[in-house]
Amino acid sequence: MKSVTEHQQAPRWVMSVKDIPSDRTPAKYEVLMEDGTATIVTLNNRKRQVVDAMLSGPLFCASTVRLGDAVFRLKEDHGLKAATQTTAEGRKFYTLSGQGVSRIDGGAA
């Protein structure tokens, strides 16, 4: 787990579902795997919402939103390397920054 530095974007709070992108239709993403190869994954529903939110910057989340479950499934099912980092105050947050994930179907994240 890494600590936040001054050069990283500050995490934003996700307090409810309205704080993440609303589009749940399928979208394609390129994911850089551990071995250096790239794979294409199609995500929809909550997984897509969470990835689009993390691509726009790191996220703190309220437990009621349950992003952790979606992040775990993204790691296990699709190989996304979402990182859990910690602020100087000890708060944990999720990020995809520098983790080899990008949107490839031309839509806005």
pLDDT digits (tens, 9 = 90+) for 37-78: 999 999 999 999 999 999 999 999 876 567 888 888 998 999
Q: Where are the domains of the chain?
A: 2-102
The span from the CA of 64 to the CA of 34, in Å, is: 31
- Phi, psi angles (nearest 5°) of residue 14: -115, 105
- Phi, psi angles (nearest 5°) of residue 9: -65, 135
If you ran DSSP here, which 8-state letter would residue 100 be given? Answer: S
Q: How far is CA 14 from CA 2, 17, 31, 50, 97, in A?
A: 20, 7, 24, 10, 17
* pTM of the shown model: 0.81
- 88-102: per-residue pLDDT in tens? 888 889 998 777 899
If you ran DSSP here, which 8-state letter would residue 75 be given? Answer: H
pLDDT of 85 strictly over 60 = yes
Q: How far is CA 12 from CA 30, 59, 62, 104, 105, in A?
A: 24, 5, 11, 24, 25
CA end-to-end span of the chain? 25
